[in-house]
Amino acid sequence: MADARVLWVTGAGSGMGRAAAVACAGGRRVALSGRRQDRLEETARLVESAGGEALVLPLDARDGDAVARAHATLRSAWGRVDDVVLSAGLNTPRRTWADQSTDEVRAVLDTNLTAAVLVVDAVLPDLRVAGGQVVVVSSYSAWRFTPYAGVAYSASKSALRALCQTLNAQEAAHGVRACHLCPGDVDTEFLALRPQVPDESARSVMLRPEDVGRAVAFVLASPPGVRVDELVISPVAQV
């Protein structure tokens, strides 16, 4: 697969990141990052079963030095990065001004926003050469205000829209494209971080991670002259 396109996915150990890696695996080399090596190894097996080649790069994407080391390892193995899917995310059950912890606010902002900036900054020279795409897995709450999403989460996800817009405005001359992908409710382990965890009935009408994976694959399959600036997908039951 020496000529295969190289995709780097963060948050690849579970949920939407894993689903995106698997959905895009066919004919690609896929680097997988996240904090849980055992979960990344599981994703790697799924990528390989789907026809891709996998490289596991454990890291905390909030750590700029760790991102730089992982990028160097990836380039040493495969020579470049062509596209990136940013799916690492965090929230907290304490989501209001009345009960939030400022330490948790920093953690959410760093995971959802700062980590995305660090990864894009590291790979941007590669993306300029490749005419690459950045797919940022954001949130429905970044597209339409949802009061229950939380102070830090809403602020960080809304800022990802600006991240994508500035990339598109400033890097179009190099063929670089960014998509702000905004899923509605998705049945993943992330739901455990809600103040009231949804029951099986509520989960049954949500999106599946694979729905988001297909959306990512659609974006990455776009011809070089096509940019999907923003894509919102939601379950029919979304209010």
144 close to 129: Cβ distance less than 8 angstroms = no
107 close to 35: Cβ distance less than 8 angstroms = no
Residue 182, SS3? strand
Q: Is 103 exposed, middle or buried (0-12, 13-18, 19+ CB in 10 A)?
A: exposed
State how far Cα 154 lies from the chain centre. Answer: 16
Residue 153 is among the residues annotated as catalytic for this protein:
yes
142 close to 153: Cβ distance less than 8 angstroms = no
- Report how far residue 24's alpha carbon sits from residue 29's, in angstroms, rounded to the nearest whole number: 9
- Please pick, among 153, 157, 182, 215, the residue that the annotation labels catalytic: 153
Q: Which two tokens stand for residue 61?
A: 């994407």
Catalytic residue numbers read 153
